Chain A
Amino acid sequence: GDSVTQMEGPVTLSEEAFLTINCTYTATGYPSLFWYVQYPGEGLQLLLKATKADDKGSNKGFEATYRKETTSFHLEKGSVQVSDSAVYFCALSLNNAGNMLTFGGGTRLMVKP
């Protein structure tokens, strides 16, 4: 079946460090790919998305590129802030599966001042 695999956390970085959170997927078709972020005590917020191969999603300094050849959608940010501390979820949806979201396990990011 369709699945998403994320690197396990927690990821601990100092402020202004470079961030990469790896995400790979398995899908029977051509999925749309998403990164969602969850701050403590809150629901999920859409961070960015990409709908086809080589698309780059970007938002708030975060970027991810849809790589069909490596079935990956790694999240990057050049300089993290303490306020970026949260749990990040990679997810996919398939039009032929009703577009329901399949999530990875989540990666907790902790940024220290």
Chain B
Amino acid sequence: KAGVTQTPRYLIKTRGQQVTLSCSPISGHRSVSWYQQTPGQGLQFLFEYFSETQRNKGNFPGRFSGRQFSNSRSEMNVSTLELGDSALYLCASREEIVTDTQYFGPGTRLTVL
């Protein structure tokens, strides 16, 4: 099976802009989670979607949002970008929401100038 894919791999934006990142889970996986990785804060959970519904949400401002489509693909959106949003954004998928093992994609490196 193909792994989790994320597009784009690299992105450069300026403050105030918005950005949309995409994640395609492993075939058959219905849950998609998003994590932010920064040198200062480490790996932090953003949110999780299952069957097009947000099931869990981390402690991030409302500028961070996401959605999931009927084919399980997911997008996350960050509006009004700030310098501190520069990070590696990782997507992970799993078969069911009760399955404890998640598989990660390669990430999208976002740089905000």
Q: Which of A81-113 contact B (CB under 8 A)?
A: 89, 91, 93, 95, 97-106
Q: Which of B80-109 contact A (CB under 8 A)?
A: 90, 92, 94, 97-107
Asked whether B42 lies within 8 Å of A101 as measured between CB atoms, the reply is: no
Asked whether A22 is an interface residue with its Cβ less than 8 Å from the other chain, the reply is no
| Contact among B4, B6, B98 with A99 in the assembled complex (CB-CB below 8 Å) | B98
| Contact among B97, B101, B107 with A43 in the assembled complex (CB-CB below 8 Å) | B107
Asked whether A98 lies within 8 Å of B56 as measured between CB atoms, the reply is: yes
For chain B, the bracket of interface size reads 20 to 34
Asked whether B104 lies within 8 Å of A99 as measured between CB atoms, the reply is: no
Asked whether A17 is an interface residue with its Cβ less than 8 Å from the other chain, the reply is no
Cβ proximity bits A12-54 to B, threshold 8 Å, 1 near / 0 not: 0000000000000000000010101000001111100101000
Asked whether A46 lies within 8 Å of B99 as measured between CB atoms, the reply is: no
Asked whether B106 lies within 8 Å of A99 as measured between CB atoms, the reply is: no
**Cα(A98)–Cα(B48), bound, Å:** 9
Asked whether B42 lies within 8 Å of A51 as measured between CB atoms, the reply is: no
Q: A: which residues have CB within 8 A of B?
A: 32, 34, 36, 42-46, 49, 51, 89, 91, 93, 95, 97-106
